Chain A
Amino acid sequence: MVRSHILVCGGTGCTSSNSPAIIQALNEQLEKSGLSEEVKVVRTGCFGLCALGPIMIVYPEGTFYSRVQVDDIPEIVEEHLLKGRIVTRLVYDETVQPNGEVSSLDDTGFYKKQMRVALRNCGVIDPENINEYIAYDGYQALGKVLTQMTPEQVIEEIKASGLRGRGGAGFPTGTKWAFAAAQPKGQKYVCCNADEGDPGAFMDRSVLEGDPHAVLEAMAIAGYAIGADKGFIYVRAEYPIAVHRLEIAIKQARELGLLGNNIFGTDFSFDVELRLGAGAFVCGEETALMTSVEGNRGEPRPRPPFPAVKGLFGKPTVLNNVETYANIPRIILLGADWFRSIGTEKSPGTKVFALGGKITNTGLVEVPMGTTLREIVEEIGGGIPNGKKFKAAQTGGPSGGCIPAKHLDVPIDYENLSAIGSMMGSGGLIVMDEDSCMVDIARFFLEFTVDESCGKCTPCRIGTKRLLEMLDRIVEGKGKPGDIEKMEELCYYIKENALCGLGQTAPNPVLSTIRYFRDEYEAHIYQKTCPAKVCKSLLQYNIRPEKCTGCTLCSRVCPVGAITGTVKNPHTINHDKCIKCGACMEKCRFGAIVKE
């Protein structure tokens, strides 16, 4: 009989830091020690603390081991699993109390303020085993709606919960379902948008990898509510683990009759198919996504007609994002009032954020709406490494904006983020410290949109290109007076005239950085300096003669031979030759080289 479970993270983050090898080593070592009957190794989805990967938890103790290496496995098996002695050197130090006792993970700064609704099963169950999902109340919500509720009641419940689209725009989900349900009977479709394209966002991937059945169950519920018998999940081919687990989940659900004909003995039938996207950012836009599912080139089309009226193959279609779906089974089981008790009045529930950038605890967090950015960055995120100061947080990816330090205490919800010039977006949250140049950040996102613009409408295709050219000039020190105003005008033009949501929001990174960091733009244009010392064209590497000992190290590492000098005498940099790679500054042991 099994007395211990070892949960090893099998999300993309930990997989790339070698968790499959760890699982294999664990199984081999357990076999060798004769423990394979007693100890079960379970590969789960993402735990959230990706910065500390590979991660594993040993139950019943709940010991949280971080940064585990294959070489550590014999010790863990011998000490912990055989002799019951925790290997303290590998335990996540936040769970170790001053008296040496190991406390629960839920009490650490990273998890304490989190509330897991959409991620409830991620890092808890084996996503490739439908029975584990069922053990944690899986498919009960589907059973409940099919046997005890009418489609109208389901829609009322979702409406009453106040759930809003987690893909970014925040449209009320219940209202969307009601529109599709109101269409005349006939072929209808349920679609899931798993084409997560924002740089730095990975929450949809994590839900699919950690809890694929939750999405299938929710899609079936949506199908019952609007009268559809067919669902499509549009998922990026760049998410191989998510695709693999979805395939397994669909197969298992069909085997148990949770997808297919006459589910729960009713006359409701529903099935789901996968469609793999080739990774075009525009295919995350709903009309482009459906065009792509139909087998055509992924380009948006004007709305109305909205998908709820005329969507996939011209039929009424409900299209929701992965995280939105992940909330549905919980709302059905625990009720709209429970969901409303979380978060804020206008934005009930929780939101998952993918924390990245200059932050200690890179990873995945889920917090109630209304949590402040400060709580996320300082408490959950563990602050900014190396004692640097917070400068801004970027939310919403290429469609969002930068939030400066003065707005750190704004409670996060859809309305508040729009009011301060950003947006919820799908949930990427990139933290920037004082070493980040805001003009450069705006340029980075613009470069992304220019690359990804589908080219169908002129404001986006040409407008973003012209914006990027202006930004390129500014970071190269060739900015002209009046550039800021010209960019602002162009931004508003694009916002007003682009065809789809992506074009309409593409100028946001530029507008929000101009709004909060205009002084940095002005420094680039008028003083020809980059205050954060990022833009290469605007800075110079120099050697401080009083600090230089003439050790010659810098001249030896310089790849272009720009540094000259004799032994024990201060060296100098030839600025005509210097390519500003920074190798000399990195190597100097005396702090004699400065960027200015």
Chain B
Amino acid sequence: MKSLEELMAIREKARQGMGIRNDKFEGTRVVVGMATCGIAAGARPVLQALVDEIAKENLDIQVGQTGCIGICQYEPVVEVFEPGKEKVTYVKMTPEKAIRVVHKHLIGGEVVQEYTIGQARK
């Protein structure tokens, strides 16, 4: 160890991914429906795409799973919970759509209307 800077560089690198161990997290949470219906419809690759993209962009966002929320025909379902904002529900997701949501919504702050449940029902 040659300097404090070197230690801080190791620290920053090691901290990546350690944020998971914070159950008092108050930032944005993205939740993927992972019941039997979701998995059958392809929720696993969606979840993986979300996790990978969020990690790649180094965003402070937690990704979790949930059970069936009762709209099995719209699976895979992804819900975005932002503090102080209304929940956004994306339906019939694919890994490609998920990556777009990460960039446009989670980074850009703009809801991708065409993937939301409101649009799908029209």
Contact = CB atoms under 8 A, between A and B. Distances in A.
Interface of A: 1-5, 7, 38, 59-62, 82-85, 104-106, 124, 131-132, 134-137, 139-140, 143-144, 147, 256-258, 263-265
A59 B23 contact: yes
A140 B9 CA distance: 12
Contacts of A106: 24
Contacts of A59: 20-23
A265 B10 CA distance: 16
B39 A60 contact: no
B73 interface: no
A4 B23 CA distance: 12
Contact of A84 (B18, B24, B67): B67
A134 B2 contact: no
Contact of A132 (B2, B14, B62, B65): B14
Contacts of A144: 4
Contact of B4 (A1, A38, A143): A143
Contacts of A4: 20
A15 B63 CA distance: 31
A251 to B, nearest CB: 15
A3 B51 contact: yes
B49 to A, nearest CB: 10
B17 to A, nearest CB: 6
B14 A140 contact: no
22 contacts: A1-B52, A3-B20, A5-B21, A38-B48, A59-B20, A60-B21, A83-B35, A84-B65, A84-B67, A124-B21, A132-B14, A132-B18, A134-B10, A136-B18, A140-B8, A140-B11, A147-B3, A256-B1, A257-B2, A264-B4, A264-B7, A265-B2
Interface string B61-92: 01111110000000000000000000000000
B55 interface: yes
A38 B1 contact: no
Contacts of A5: 20-21
B15 interface: yes
Contacts of B35: 83, 85
B20 A135 contact: no
Interface residues of B, number: 37
A60 B62 contact: yes
A7 B21 CA distance: 9
A131 B14 contact: yes
B20 A60 contact: yes
Contact of B2 (A60, A82, A131, A264): A264
Contact of B7 (A7, A82, A104, A143): A143
B73 to A, nearest CB: 18
Nearest to B1: A257
Nearest to B5: A143
B79 to A, nearest CB: 11
B3 A264 contact: yes
Contact of A135 (B15, B31, B47): B15
A248 B97 CA distance: 45
Nearest to A83: B34
Given A82-B34, A84-B66, A131-B14, 14 more contacts: A1-B51, A60-B23, A60-B63, A83-B34, A84-B65, A85-B35, A104-B23, A124-B21, A132-B18, A136-B18, A140-B4, A256-B1, A264-B4, A265-B3
Interface string B92-120: 00000000000000000000000000000
A137 B11 CA distance: 7
Given A3-B20, A132-B18, A147 B51 contact: no
Contact of A263 (B1, B11, B32): B1
A140 B25 contact: no
Given A59-B20, A60-B25, A263-B1, A3 B14 contact: no
B67 A61 contact: no
Nearest to B52: A1
B63 A3 contact: yes
Contacts of B63: 3, 60
B98 to A, nearest CB: 13
